[in-house]
Structure formats: structure tokens, C-alpha cells
Amino acid sequence: MSLREASLQNSQIAQQYGQSVDLIAQVVTDPSQSASGNYSFIARAIYMHAGQNKFAMRVPIRVITPRPSVLELLPGQSFRATARIVKSKEGRVGALVLIDGEVSVITQPSRWAKSLASIRYGLRNLSGDGDGGALIPGMVLGDTSKQSQEFKSAMKRSGLMHLVAVSGANFAIVSSFVLWCMQFIFTRMKLRLGATALALICFIALVRPSPSVLRAAAMAAVILIAQGTHRGRDSLPALGFAIGAVVVGDPWQSRDAGFALSVLATAGLLLFAPLVVKKFALYIPEKLAQGLAPPIAAIIFCSPVLVSLSGYLSPISIIANLLAAPAVAPITILGFLAALIAPFAPVISSVLIWLIRYPAGFIAAVANWAAEFPVLTLRTGSIGFLTVAVFILSLWLFKKHIKRISIIALVLILILTWIQRWPAGDWQIANCDVGQGDSMVVNLGNHRAIVIDVGPDSQLEDRCLKALGINEISLMILSHFHADHVGGLSGAIKNRTVRQVWVSTNAEPLSESARVRSLLKSVDFVMPQRGYSAGIAQFTIDVLWPATGTHVFELMPGEGSSVNNSSIAVRIASNDFSLFAAGDLEPPAQHELLGTITPVDVYKVSHHGSKYQDTALMAALNPQVAIISVGAKNAYRHPAPESLQALTRLGAHVVRTDISGAISITAKAHRIRVGTSKGRFNLFRWG
């Protein structure tokens, strides 16, 4: 790994960081759409023209582009583009290549690539709509392109995400099926095993060599060789060989979380599952114990890594895996057959897919059902990893006291989760932790609220409003139509009534504003401007911006825009507190508010605390508490140190969602108390 990293750091492309170059590269992995909406894939840079210099090379790169046309590219194809070279944090690539312009295809895909693509696309096109239809290509070929973000989140939260990552289970099912079919063609075992090995090589090419696929393939190779040479087989040495072979072949797999999880899950099945069956069989039927053992063993062994990545554990995932298990083999086998014959026998393929749509729909229903259950949330990173790892190690070392340790741990978790619950007791204002975006909630009582922006993620927005107990949104204020403020709308309105919506007078970006109006067809829309005022429950809401007429402001470097400066700015006041929120308003528009603004108790800092703030407006607001809604380690480096310093000099108590998580404020007669969902000592939360 050190040698390969050194070669990447000293490559010609690494000398061009920050420069724009003409590039010719070859596609290595299938392009896919990321959560940001861009398209990403790994390629191999083979030729670069930078200024007067020309270079030939073979350097792996990560390509990111907003152009959807790249989805038509297949592994092996070469393309040309003008790109900007940026240093990448991804160790396996020499650079991050950003392409804004057109991507010109140089070579056509090979027949092999076309054949594999026709199989993948055939299954994808015939699998149908809905979560069940999107699940089939994922379970058979690891193709999750049809799955919505909401469904992916449900699969992850329910503990069923492993079903759409082709792994050892898929290889076991496919290899067993192929080996069974070979008995009707070959009489000698070695020929059957050879044909099965060839089929598995094709299967690897079809599903693409992900970490879990490579690990499973290495294990399958060892077992097949052991069978062919009549030397017997042992799964633990096979797993050991698989780990070594994969890491030698691709050293970066040793740092890959997916590879670590696949190894730990397999180890759990080999080492711990038999013990679980033995213990459980004393109290429940043996068949039920055998069904419960695999998911329990896999979850226990994987839990330290899962917590360090996601920050939560889902106890209901054991039941979800138990319910889904009987449907996995039929979907994998029939789906595999349907994929193979889809290019030349689509009718038969459609019949097979029709048969497996019912079990696929059942698994999707189980995932959505299990996702509604609360999870045990822990600190992410090393703290969460060590907490779970120490607990599991204690159970292993002190087996005689396993009941006492479990009871003590359960009591401790219940006490801590009650103390650290969010929101604790009565609250007036809440700021949801929605990542790099905004979403604030003002409590109207009786499960009603004013919601100011809905963040970028529908799942996070829905969960926040559920935690707050909001069933009715009396007023929704969408400050402007950028995705980080309106992207989570479907989650906000899920099973909730919306009475009225205020939107910006600027409809850009048109795609987002059109989506908002399509989701809220039956709701009354208002485009308020300066001077507009409304009363809801005990609150008075005054609109301070946008003003009537045309306003042309100088754009702030890399930050300002006419959309940001069209944000709705409101002052909300009651007998207990006052609040000012202004979306992503920039300094030129902020400055226009001077003379009309008065001090407030709570200030939702504009534009996630970026450095572009009007300090005179901050001084005029003079808040007790300044809330910054921002994503951890965001690419914009929000919030800016100078903005934090300016707020601190004013004596404001600054709270940030990237550090403190979701924020709640209790206010009585303008006396403010702040609560957060996570902090220095917050280890557990149930919700």
C-alpha cells in the first residue's frame, strides 16, 4: 500500500492539482448518481495535456460530473474531457477529477462489456416499479440504481442492507445452484467444479468486484479447490485465505468498511452462530434457534463497526432478518435465471420476475415496517466503536456472568437514554439535525408547529418531526428553493397536515420549486414580502424580506446569489421569546434590514454561519442564543471562524448542529435554556 500510495503521490497528475487539463481516461467502474445529485465513477487516466506539456500514464482517478450522459459509459470505454484536477482524500486514486463540460466518447464498449450490460439493464428494466421492483436487481446483481433514498434508508435502518450487497450468501446460493445443474451435464466431479468456477468468474464480472464479492469469491475458490482435490474443507482457513488474498490483491480493502463488515459477519456465522443455536435450543425449538442464530451472530460481530459508521443499532433487525430469510434464495436463483435470459427471452424473464415480485415486495414491506421502530443511537467514531467493542469483549471474557452484565448494561442504557432524551420536557423552538441544511420548528402546542425550511433529507426531517411529536404544520415557511432547504419536503409532509405555505418570490431553481408545488398541490401558497404580518396561536410573524421592487446586489465570491438574497426573513415573537430567521440571506440584503430590525432572543444564523455576514445586523439583533444549522465536515467549511468570533464578541451563546446535534430551546419570559441531542457525555439515545 505504501509503495502504491507513493507512486500515486508522485504521478504526473498529482503535479497538476488546481489546474485545468485536457484528459483522456478509461472507465473502470459503472458511473452512479451520488446523494449530491452528481455522477461519480473510478477511471484510469491514460493521457493528459496540461499547458504545453503532454503526458502518458496509467493512474486511477475519481471522476465527478453533473452530466447524466456518463451513465451510458461502460467499463473499458475511453473518453475525453476538459477537467479540473483536485487532491483527493481517497487513497486508491491519484486525484479527484471534476468535469463540468461535455464528455466525449472515444471508444465503443467491447462485446463482453455490452453482453454484461445487456444482462444488468435487462433485469433492471423488467423488474418493475415500487420498492419490490427496485429490490430485485439489488439482491441479484447488487444494482441499487432504482432504489430511492427513502428505501435505502429503510433497508439500512432495518438491518437488511446486506441483502443488496452481493456477498457470500449470494455466492453460496448461485454456486450451489450451478453445481446442482452441472450434474446433468458432467459425470466427473472435477468437471462440475470447473464449470462452477467458470460460472462464478462470470458472476463476479456481472455483479462487479466489490469488497464483499472479492472476499466471497476467494472463499468460494478455496472451497471448490478443496472439494476437487478431496482434501476436505474448513471454513475458517478459507476465510483466512480470503482475507489475505484480497488484501494482497488490493491493499486498500484493508481500510474498507464494507470489507471489514463482510469478514466480521462471516466470522460471526462461523464462530458464534453454533453457540447461539446451542444456547437457544434449550429454551425454544431448534429450527427457530437455527433461524435466529445467523442474524444475531452477524449483528454482534459487526456491531462495533456499524456503530462507528452509522451511530446506531437496530434490535428489530434480528426479527427483520428472520422474516426475510425464506425469500432470499428464491429471489436470488429465479432472478439470476431471469437476468441471464433477459437479453434474448424477455417474455420468460418477465414471468420469472413476476413470480419473485411477491417475495421481493414482502421483504420491502418488512424493511419499511422495521424502519419505523426506534433504534439505539450511540456516538459515532472511535467512542461508539470502543463502547460496543468493550461490552462484547466483556460478554466473551466473563461468560459465567453474562446475565448480570447484560442486565447492568440494559439498566445503564435506560437511565442514560432517559436523562439524555431529546427534546427534554417542554420546548418552544427546535432546530433539527439535518446535515448541511436548515430546518427549524416553533412549537404551537397540541402537536402543531411552524416549520421554517425542511432540510435536504426527507428521512432526517421526518424523524425529527416525529421526535418532536408534530402532526400538523400550521405554517410552513420555505425561505428559498435551494435543495438544502426544501429537499426534505416529502418527509416533512409524511402523515402530516399542512395548512399554509410561504414561499420565496424567486422560483429558481425551477426544478425544486416545481417539485415543491407538485407535493403541495392542495395547500394554500403565499409569497409574502416586507410589511406582511400574520398571527398564529400566541405568535406574531413579521416578514422583513424580500422587499417589493427589483434589487440587484453584487454577488459574494463563491457564495452569494440572487436566490439566496430572495430568502424570506421573518421575526417571530411571543410573550416568552423572539426569533429571527432569514434562510441564506447574504450581507447586501442583510444590510437592507438595518433600521427595521430589533434585538431578539434567538438568531438562526444565516447561510449556515458562512463568513459572508453583515456584522452590523448581528449587532442590531444582539441575540442571547445563535443557532447554526450545519453539516459536520462539510465541503464549504461552514461555519466560518470570523462569524463565530463576531457572535461570541456580542455575548451570544453559539450552538451548532454539527457538534451538538438537534437543538431544543425552552423559553419562559425571555429566559432561555438550551438542550441538545448529543454532546460530550451523550453516549446513548433511544428513538
pLDDT in tens, 622-647: 999 999 999 887 778 889 999 999 99
Q: 411 pLDDT exceeds 60?
A: yes
Lowest mean pLDDT among 294-298, 412-416, 539-543: 412-416
Q: 413 pLDDT exceeds 80?
A: no
Most confident of 34-48, 116-130, 305-319, 527-541: 527-541
Lowest mean pLDDT among 306-315, 419-428, 459-468, 671-680: 306-315
State the pLDDT at residue 198.
84
Lowest mean pLDDT among 21-30, 245-254, 313-322, 646-655: 313-322
Three cell numbers, residue 631 = 453539516
Q: Taking the model in full, what pTM does it have? A: 0.66
Co-location of 391 and 355 in the same domain: no
Question: Is there a contact between 475 and 450 (Cβ–Cβ < 8 Å)?
Answer: yes
Instruction: Name the average pLDDT for the chain.
Output: 83
What band does 681 get if pLDDT is binned at 50, 70 and 90? very low
Q: 680 pLDDT exceeds 50?
A: no
**Which CA distances in Å does 318 have to 81, 158, 367, 621?**
48, 9, 12, 51
Q: Is 371 exposed, middle or buried (0-12, 13-18, 19+ CB in 10 A)?
A: buried
Co-location of 408 and 449 in the same domain: no
**263 within some domain:** no
**Amino acid making up residue 532:** Y
Tell which of 40, 74, 109 closes a domain. Answer: 109
Q: 456 pLDDT exceeds 70?
A: yes
Considering only CA atoms, which of 324, 311, 317 is closest in space to residue 297? 317
Strands annotated E in 563-638: 569-573, 578-581, 602-604, 625-628
Tell which of 94, 109, 124 closes a domain. Answer: 109
Lowest mean pLDDT among 291-305, 322-336, 404-418, 452-466: 404-418
State the pLDDT at residue 543.
95
Mean pLDDT to the nearest integer, 153-169: 75
- Tens digits of residue pLDDT in 90-101: 777 888 889 888
Grid cell 414482502 in the structure block, residue: 362
Which strand (E) or helix (H) includes residue 87?
A: none
Co-location of 71 and 198 in the same domain: no
The percent of residues above 90 in pLDDT, for the chain, comes to 30
Q: What DSSP string describes 397-428?
A: HTGGGHHHHHHHHHHHHHHHHHHT-SS-S--S
Q: Rounded CA gap, 223 and 239, in Å?
A: 10
Q: Is 75 exposed, middle or buried (0-12, 13-18, 19+ CB in 10 A)?
A: buried
Considering only CA atoms, which of 476, 469, 533, 526 is closest in space to residue 495? 469
Three cell numbers, residue 293 = 442464530
Co-location of 149 and 174 in the same domain: yes
Mean pLDDT to the nearest integer, 366-371: 88
Mean pLDDT to the nearest integer, 362-370: 91
Mean pLDDT to the nearest integer, 649-678: 89
Domain with residue 99: its CATH number is: 2.40.50.140
Co-location of 325 and 302 in the same domain: no
Lowest mean pLDDT among 167-176, 288-297, 566-575: 167-176
**86 within some domain:** yes
Q: 557 pLDDT exceeds 60?
A: no
How many folded domains does the chain comprise? 4
Output the 3-class SS for 192-210. Answer: HHHHHHHHHHHHHHHHCCC
What band does 418 get if pLDDT is binned at 50, 70 and 90? low
The residue segments making up the domain with residue 511 are 429-679
**256 within some domain:** no
Co-location of 150 and 186 in the same domain: yes
Co-location of 441 and 465 in the same domain: yes
**442 within some domain:** yes
Q: 369 pLDDT exceeds 80?
A: yes
State the pLDDT at residue 563.
87
What band does 559 get if pLDDT is binned at 50, 70 and 90? very low
Q: 149 pLDDT exceeds 90?
A: no
Co-location of 68 and 127 in the same domain: no
Domain with residue 583: its CATH number is: 3.60.15.10
Lowest mean pLDDT among 30-39, 174-183, 607-616: 30-39
Co-location of 138 and 72 in the same domain: no
**537 within some domain:** yes
Q: What DSSP string describes 322-372?
A: HHHHHHHHHHHHHHHHHHHHTTT-HHHHHHHHHHHHHHHHHHHHHHHHHHT
State the pLDDT at residue 532.
94
| Residue 380 CA to its chain's centroid (Å) | 14
Q: 500 pLDDT exceeds 90?
A: yes
Give the β-pairing of 500-503 and 524-526: parallel
Lowest mean pLDDT among 130-134, 313-317, 456-460: 313-317
**265 within some domain:** no
State the pLDDT at residue 156.
79
State the pLDDT at residue 573.
95
State the pLDDT at residue 66.
84
Most confident of 29-38, 122-131, 603-612: 603-612
State the pLDDT at residue 558.
44
**299 within some domain:** yes
Mean pLDDT to the nearest integer, 573-593: 92
Co-location of 298 and 343 in the same domain: no
What band does 620 get if pLDDT is binned at 50, 70 and 90? very high
Question: What count of Cα atoms within 13 Å lies in the side-chain half-sphere of residue 16?
Answer: 26
Q: Count H helices, E strands: the chain?
A: 23, 26
Q: 293 pLDDT exceeds 50?
A: yes
Tell which of 419, 442, 476 closes a domain. Answer: 419
Lowest mean pLDDT among 73-82, 92-101, 202-211, 317-326: 202-211
What band does 200 get if pLDDT is binned at 50, 70 and 90? confident
Residues forming beta bridges with residue 625, ordered by sequence position: 602, 653
Co-location of 573 and 585 in the same domain: yes
**389 within some domain:** yes
Co-location of 497 and 600 in the same domain: yes
